[in-house]
Structure 1
Amino acid sequence: MSRLDEIDAWLVERLPQLLVEHRVPGAAVAVSSGGEVIDAAAGVLSTATGVEANTDSLFHIGSITKVWTTTLAMQLVDEGTLDLDAAVLTYLPEFRTSDSAAGARITVRQLMCHVSGFEGDLFSDTGTGDDCVEKHVARLTEVPQLFEPGEMFSYNNAAFNVLGRVVEVLRNRPYDECLREYLFTPLHLTHVAAGPYEAILHRAAVGHIQRDGDEPQPTPVWALERSAAPAGAMLAMRPRDLLAFVRMHTNGGAGPEGQVLSAASVKAMQQRQVELPDTGRLGDAWGLGWAIFDLPGGQVIGHDGSPIGQAAFLRVVPGRDVAVTLLTNGGNPLPLYADIFGRVLRELADVELPASPAPEGAAPPQDASRYLGTYSSSVWEITVTRDDDGRVWMRRVPKGLAIEIGKRIERVELLAWRGDTLVPATPDERGLHIPHGFIGDDGAGRARYLHIGRILRRADA
């Protein structure tokens, strides 16, 4: 029995038990090694209907879509119609942020690796028409420019909607149609949906949310706005089809009937563009679309996704021809991810999955004066204070989209971790202790930014 066969047998036996342990309603997994693919599924697609998940079920892949959007753009690079180092204005003359001078310097490459500098968590409902992405990009004129383009990393959803719009303009067709014509069709994908009208033709999962220890309940909506499709609002598929896309990337860009992407573009996407601060699970560096993880045993690329009430995970070890994806629809998916990916990567690729950041043995920072104050973005306002005992506290108030998806006001203690990076004493609803990095200087010896994967700028004088 091969190692892949052993993983297959283990998944068939263990996956249903793991879902119960972690209160995940339903999940589907696929693993590829040496060109062979195995998959498994368990649980239900919705606790309201009781429809069982199977290996052909569609789950949202969320922000993993960003790798697909980057691939569409790199195809245009191959054709000579897109220059990564050209300003976005070259292709979208109407593109603006609140800082027009900085916005004029943003390049296509910077969109792909989250260093464009403008705030990225803007989600706006601009309707369901084919012009929705165009209208969304037009609303970015008031979005704050947090830092100079290229200066640092800050995860940016809106940047990928801009990139999707560049693809639309150069292809002269909507983003959905670009996906179908340039990726779905040449890769022979059969269980994939660019939106709800296609998803309804399959067994599609519904997201679930839970509050205060309650059982997961179906979300009231299936997806975010269509205008955010290039960033990850819509794309859904079965795990096996996601790995067919990955197979093209590990096979030098070749698809079933020829090149889908050049080998040069495949390589370029996996090259480091920017190093990341301590952000927990986002990675150690970012390429073009891909996150890059420096793990014990080798380099891994991948991406995660967090659509409404669902969670998606993808890791690829190109040098070992191994890939694994897990698609879930709620509950507590992170321990499930750790159980499955830990075993698969260890046994098939000799790669160890690192432990998540944790505050064991940590204490309050000795001098917190640099960190105190209020930091703000379009989705969070975070105020850091120190009590009479010297303990440091974070009060996090949701705004905008965070309110819409059910986030609540929280007060959590922050403990010393690494240098100017602190970790919460208690985990969030996903079970994560997200590192909070205090970076830069506001001219008065205080941190200018709070980095939690996304940048929040100091809001107090």
Structure 2
Amino acid sequence: MATGERTAKAGAAAHHGERAQLRKDARAVLETGVTGLTVRVQDERRRSTTVRAGVADLRGNRPVPYDAHYRIGSDTKTFTAVLVLQLVAEGKLDLDDTVEQWLPGLVQGNGNDGSRITVRNLLQQTSGLANYTNLQFQSLETMKQDFLANRYTSLAPEERVKLAMTVAPEWLPDAADPGSETRWSYSNTNYVLAGMIIEKITGNSWEREVRDRIVKPLRLKDTFAPGTSARIPRPTATAYTKFPGEKRLTETTEQANAWSDGAVISTTADMNTFLRALLGGRLLPAGQLAEMKRTVPAEGF
């Protein structure tokens, strides 16, 4: 057998083995209670492997479409961070600028202080600010009712921040060097503020900046920020949520309750393209990509 043939067969066997392992992993995720999922992996040769498990809809038992549109949730934060770091690279913003410099008077009250929080704190989740999404529900017992009553209501960014200002922060970063803060707590408020800073600097909506700076250059044909729309394009898979105290799943596909912290809709193929471009240096200069990779300890996360 020629060397080329042996190499090709070995590569095909390895690819088959990877697909089998990926299917096994997808089934393992399914066993945690997920109703359906799609997984796509692309190797260094740009060969893509896509597998699916479960169903797209519990009522019809349709398989999950390989090209399903999903709400990517907090992966949206990576898009927002890219926009911020692009502005840093352009000299329009510094990671050590304070929130107060760009959004004066917005972060204040109940011990909150925007002059003690930098853009770096926002991106690294070290600001200490309360998570506004935790304050949207009256209690765990009413979470389902609160969601259903407000699923089509899209709060303005200022309203989201205002919610967070109703309580004291977990901490305030060091006044002398806030960017050195390493205490960490997940807060969607941080990325709402980042989105607002993007709008303040560019004069454009956050949604437009996502489109013009990321979606168009990378030709992501199935990726967009939906604005105030609660709809999601077909093909898709039905989203379900198990609310506290509930035995049954609740259909939650249509919702309009996120923004620069979690609103983007995409597909596994587009996300593959986005992440490859990001890590390959197509979206950020080396210095800003290095900043993105700087981390702080995140206990239990």
Change (3 A) 1:30 1:154: same
1:26-175 correspondence to structure 2 within 5 Å? 26-36=36-46, 37-99=48-110, 102-122=113-133, 132-149=156-173, 150=181, 152-175=183-206
For 2:151 and 2:269, locate their aligned partners in 1 and report how far apart those are by CA, in whole Å. 32
* SS of the residue 2:217 aligns to: coil
1:38-437 correspondence to structure 2 within 5 Å? 38-99=49-110, 102-122=113-133, 132-149=156-173, 150=181, 152-195=183-226, 197=229, 200-210=232-242, 217-220=249-252, 222-223=254-255, 225=257, 228-232=258-262, 234-252=263-281, 254=282, 260-272=283-295, 274-277=296-299, 279=300, 282=301
Higher helix proportion (structure 1 or 2): 2
Alpha carbons 1:66, 1:231 under 8 Å: kept:
yes
Which whole-Å deviations, capped at 9, do the CAs of 1:336-369 have from their partners, x for residues lacking one? xxxxxxxxxxxxxxxxxxxxxxxxxxxxxxxxxx
Shift of residue 202 of structure 1? 2.4
* SS of the residue 2:41 aligns to: strand
For 1:62 and 1:219, locate their aligned partners in 2 and report how far apart those are by CA, in whole Å. 16
Q: Does 1:25 align with 2:35?
A: yes
Shift of residue 111 of structure 1? 0.5
For 2:117 and 2:68, locate their aligned partners in 1 and report how far apart those are by CA, in whole Å. 39
Query: Which deviates more from structure 2 when the two are superposed, residues 116-125 or residues 67-76?
Result: 116-125
* SS of the residue 1:6 aligns to: helix
For 1:128 and 1:209, locate their aligned partners in 2 and report how far apart those are by CA, in whole Å. 18
Shift of residue 68 of structure 1? 1.4
Q: Which amino acid aligns with 1:217?
A: L
Alpha carbons 2:69, 2:267 under 8 Å: kept:
yes
* TM-score of the aligned structures, taking structure 2 as reference length: 0.76
Pairs aligned (count): 267
For 1:127 and 1:215, locate their aligned partners in 2 and report how far apart those are by CA, in whole Å. 24
The match for 2:18 is: 7
| Percent identity between the two aligned chains | 25
Cα root mean square deviation, aligned: 3.1
Higher strand proportion (structure 1 or 2): 1
For 1:248 and 1:61, locate their aligned partners in 2 and report how far apart those are by CA, in whole Å. 17
The match for 1:307 is: none
Alpha carbons 1:58, 1:202 under 8 Å: kept:
yes
* TM-score of the aligned structures, taking structure 1 as reference length: 0.52
Higher relative contact order structure (alpha carbons within 8 Å, sequence separation ≥ 6) = 2
Which whole-Å deviations, capped at 9, do the CAs of 1:158-190 have from their partners, x for residues lacking one? 111111111122122222222112111111112
Shift of residue 275 of structure 1? 2.5
* SS of the residue 1:142 aligns to: coil
Alpha carbons 1:206, 1:218 under 8 Å: kept:
no
- Extract unaligned runs of 5+ from structure 2: 1-9, 137-149, 174-180
Shift of residue 144 of structure 1? 1.1
Shift of residue 267 of structure 1? 1.5
Query: Which deviates more from structure 2 when the two are superposed, residues 207-216 or residues 114-123?
Result: 207-216
Alpha carbons 2:152, 2:255 under 8 Å: kept:
no
Shift of residue 74 of structure 1? 0.7
Shift of residue 136 of structure 1? 2.5
For 2:25 and 2:38, locate their aligned partners in 1 and report how far apart those are by CA, in whole Å. 9
Shift of residue 230 of structure 1? 1.4
Q: Which amino acid aligns with 2:107?
A: R
Alpha carbons 2:52, 2:64 under 8 Å: kept:
yes
Shift of residue 78 of structure 1? 1.2
Change (3 A) 1:34 1:158: same
Alpha carbons 1:126, 1:135 under 8 Å: kept:
no
- Extract unaligned runs of 5+ from structure 1: 255-259, 283-461
Which whole-Å deviations, capped at 9, do the CAs of 1:293-348 have from their partners, x for residues lacking one? xxxxxxxxxxxxxxxxxxxxxxxxxxxxxxxxxxxxxxxxxxxxxxxxxxxxxxxx
For 1:75 and 1:179, locate their aligned partners in 2 and report how far apart those are by CA, in whole Å. 11
